[in-house]
Amino acid sequence: MEYLVSASAGMIPAVILILTGYGVIKRVSVYDSFVRGAKQGLKTVTEVCPTLIGLMTGVGVLRAGGFLDFLAATLAPVAEMVHVPEPLVPVTIVRMFSSSAATGLILDLFEVYGPDSLIGFMASVSNSCTETVFYTMSVYFMAAGVKKTRWTLAGALLATAAGIAASVVLTYWMN
């Protein structure tokens, strides 16, 4: 175990050293390449920032306005049929938009039910088994200039459903 800790601590410096050494061997101006990449990264951040702000604002409005609670109550019968507790419905919905907002909801669940409860455990596993579908699609497709998403959304939502199903099965099996 100590070997893994030591190896992981030296991984990033090793990668930097290897890339720098490779650039020197190939006679590439490593620092200029780094600066060019940093400029492109900042350009991408400025292009993506409005989308991020919009997503975060939207999630905050839905949460503060009570729409998530309404949606959870509406979807509760369907969620109970597939053994998903009602308090997890808002977390599941928010997770598709924002990981940090979902984490905030999970912390709220921890305060009410406890992190070692079935709901706390299921929320943690579900959060790990799913992705921020709309965030990822909007940010990365915008940055890459993708206009036609084809079946991406359907596939991502199917993968999210599979992740939720896996989290439900795993948590009931483990408890």
- Please state at what angle helix 118-129 crosses helix 88-95, rounded to 10 degrees: 10
Spatial separation of the C-alpha atoms in residues 14 and 82, rounded to whole Å:
47
Q: pLDDT for 87-143, tens place per residue?
A: 899 899 889 888 888 888 899 999 999 999 999 999 999 999 998 898 888 877 877
pTM higher than 0.75 for the full model? Answer: no
Q: pLDDT for 61-79, tens place per residue?
A: 887 898 888 888 898 898 8
Measured over the CA atoms of residue 87, residue 89, residue 94 and residue 99, the dihedral's sign is positive
63 and 81 in contact (C-beta within 8 Å)? no
Q: What integer pLDDT is reported at residue 7 of this predicted model?
A: 84
Spatial separation of the C-alpha atoms in residues 113 and 10, rounded to whole Å:
39
173 confidence band (pLDDT: 50, 70, 90) = confident
What is the radius of gyration, based on Cα positions, of the chain?
21
Domain ranges of the chain: 47-174
